[in-house]
Amino acid sequence: MNVAQHLDSLRRDADGLLDAAQAADPHERIESCPEWTPLQLVRHISDVWRFFTSCVRDGWDDPRAYERPPRPDDDAVPALAAANADELVAVLAAADPATPTWSWTGHGDVAWVARRMAQETAVHRFDVERAAHREHRVDAELAADGIDEFLFDFLPRAASTGVPTLGGSAHLHCTDIDGEWIVEPDGQGGHQVRRAHEKGAVALRGTANDLLLVLWRRLQLDAVDIIGDRDVAEQLIDRPV
């Protein structure tokens, strides 16, 4: 996906998320994200949108330079979130995608931010749509892109936590769109990820939506087909990210 596609997804899912939040009970715990209510999640995503707006617009390379705004009253959160979404999209659209930005990955640029914001917003839209008791699926192309981001940008963070490495290789395979990956131990306590069609100790097969939401622990592992060593699949899903 390119930056324009990520921005289109961000715009669509930000609007959808905020609409779902209006339809949900603002104080009921979200099933797929039980640490938050819809109101708390909207407050969170609004803060994230503002943080990355500042990252791109103000050009800082150390998050300690970010000036956190005063905490708004609950009644002000929806309108503030909508304004923060609008500003984020506008700032990203006006920026050169190749402009370097802060990132925990070490390879951040505006294009990376656009992708990260599209992906975070899409997953949290799923959370809030579920809280509103509405069906929602992440677009297949965006979901496959999100799996790729998860494996290459988030999974490496697990190695720094000291958790045991995987007990074997895992093959992830989207059944509704092109997308296949191999995740295997690298022999040094981390993981090696490749985009490849290869047999692993276990295969996780499902739609891109389902695979993405399983990786982010929004759906149970059994939402996808598990072929082979289930223990390895469970180890992959249990990685801290």
Residues in the chain: 241
124 φ, ψ to 5°? Answer: -70, -25
> What is the reported pLDDT for 39?
97
Find tokens 């963070």 and name the residue: 157
Does a structural domain hold residue 30?
yes
Number of domains making up the chain: 2
CA distances from residue 9 to 3, 89, 105 in whole angstroms, order as listed: 10, 10, 22
Can you give the CATH number for the domain in which 52 is found?
A: 1.20.120.450
Q: What is the pTM of this model?
A: 0.95
Can you give the CATH number for the domain in which 233 is found?
A: 3.30.1050.10
Q: At what angle do helices 110-131 and 140-149 cross, to 10 degrees?
A: 120
Lookup: tokens for 31: 């099933």
> What is the reported pLDDT for 129?
97
- Same domain for 52 and 77, yes or no, is yes
Instruction: Please say which residue of 97, 131, 165 terminates a domain.
Output: 131
> What is the reported pLDDT for 162?
65
> What is the reported pLDDT for 146?
98
- SS3 percent helix, strand, coil of the chain, rounded to 5, is 55, 10, 35
Low-confidence ranges of the chain (pLDDT < 50): none
Q: Maximum Cα–Cα distance for the chain, whole Å?
A: 53
> What is the reported pLDDT for 173?
98
- Same domain for 156 and 183, yes or no, is yes
Does a structural domain hold residue 136?
no
Separation of alpha carbons 15 and 17, rounded Å: 5
- Same domain for 124 and 233, yes or no, is no
- Same domain for 125 and 39, yes or no, is yes
- Same domain for 120 and 165, yes or no, is no
Query: 3-38: per-residue pLDDT in tens?
Result: 999 999 999 999 999 999 999 999 999 999 899 999
> What is the reported pLDDT for 102?
95
**Domain limits at 83?**
3-131
Find tokens 């956190």 and name the residue: 68
235 φ, ψ to 5°? Answer: -60, -40
Q: Which of 211, 207, 210, 202 is nearest to 229 (CA)?
A: 202
